[in-house]
Amino acid sequence: MIEPYTMFDPRWVIENWDLPKSFLYNIPEWRGSGDVVLHRIDLEGQITSLETVSSETFVGLLNEACDKLGERLNLYFYSQPLDGKLLRTFPRVQNLQVSSFDFEHPEVVGELDHLEVFCHDVAFCDDPKRLEKIGVERLKRLTLVETPDRKLDLSPLADAGKLETLRLMGQYRNVEAIGALDRLRELVLYPAKKLDLGFIEDMRGLEVLKFAVGAMDSLESLKAHANLRDLSFEWVRFLSELGDLQRFPALERLRLSDQSRIDELVTGRGNTALRHIWLGGLAKLHNFRGLGELPALESFFAHSTGLTLEQIDLPASLAYLQIIPKRMRERPAAEAAIRELGLRFEEHPDANFFYK
């Protein structure tokens, strides 16, 4: 058993800080002899070398940790290349991440009966049907990274009825297939200009929708969604308008970052649940219609936008307000004006949700 680990040099990083003491080994260093030197990193970044164990002992520790910690324990393989047959060494793993440009035998992932969380961080895997091999029907959380040829077929995800979180960090074929996922709660999507977003309306359990990178002109093709709670945009190219956001009556948080073409936002009394608005890097945004009509808004954050305190209506419910001009010399006066209104000049801890 030692030889495969020496040859392919896989390394695992246990990413949780709340592990039992016997499993707080964050960096295993594999030696040519087959031994493993265990290192620990504390919260200050200090590295302590603990002990040297055989590879068999280390694998036993990780298997025991998989049993005790479940999906809180992330097994992370980033060797080059990686033979998927090595995954059979950890039959009870629940949370697995693979970051290898050359991933042989990915079908072994489908043999891991306890797997619930899988990150397939394989940018150059050339198998367009690999989702058929990994058993997506048992997964609760899945992350996929973009492939250069965009040939990966998402059709098998229609059978992934247990998925609660899906992060599609790229553009793929048959994206519409995920419209069958009625239990999906969170979706991260790299949009494409010609992609009709109407399939999202069928995902009745969806609460969190995050658009990142990619390209789209507008949100018009998503006509309505009764249960959408969080809506976010991060570096989406060409996005110029969102339409009237009152078509999302359950919306609680709106976040837009680095959207250079948006010049107007529209909300209103129909957004009865909207509590937090976070805006950053919207230089052309000069008009916000319906802001003062929001009955539940608690916080409003705007950094480097075209908005000023004088030109917007503030709802009576507002408690946190930051409008930060692009020019540094203008910021002290802007802060003073907001504090004079009796509002807290700080960001609400629940407002910026993209990475949560």
Residue-averaged pLDDT of the chain? 86
Q: Is the peptide bond before 81 cis (omega within 30 degrees of 0)?
A: yes
pLDDT digits (tens, 9 = 90+) for 160-182: 999 999 999 888 889 999 999 98
Task: Estimate to the nearest angstrom the gap between the alpha carbon of 142 and the chain centroid.
Answer: 10
| Alpha-carbon span 234 to 257, nearest angstrom | 5
CB atoms < 10 A from the CB of 120, how many? 23
User: How far, in Å, are 15, 40, 49, 277 from residue 54 at the CA level?
Assistant: 22, 17, 15, 53
pLDDT at 33: 66
* pLDDT (average), residues 79-99: 85
* pLDDT (average), residues 321-348: 94
Q: Percentage of the chain surpassing pLDDT 70?
A: 85
**Which residues are within 8 A (CB) of 119 and not within 5 positions of it... i.e. 6 or more apart?**
96, 97, 98, 142, 143
In the three-class reduction of DSSP (H, G, I as helix; E, B as strand; rest coil), residue 288 is classed as: strand
276-282 and 253-257 as β-strands: parallel, antiparallel, unpaired? parallel
Q: Using the structure block, give the residue that is written with the tokens 């790229």.
A: 170
pLDDT at 56: 82
* pLDDT (average), residues 195-201: 95
Let me know the angle formed at the C-alpha of 210 by 205 and 213, rounded to the nearest 5 degrees: 150
pLDDT at 75: 85
pLDDT at 17: 44
Q: Does the CA dihedral 209-213-215-217 come out positive or negative?
A: positive
Q: What single-letter DSSP state applies at residue 69? A: H
Bridge partners, 210 (sequence order): 188, 232
For the cut 60, the answer to whether the pLDDT of residue 123 exceeds it is: no
* pLDDT (average), residues 326-349: 93
User: Which has the closest alpha carbon to 111: 134, 86, 145, 95?
Assistant: 134
Q: What single-letter DSSP state applies at residue 43? A: T
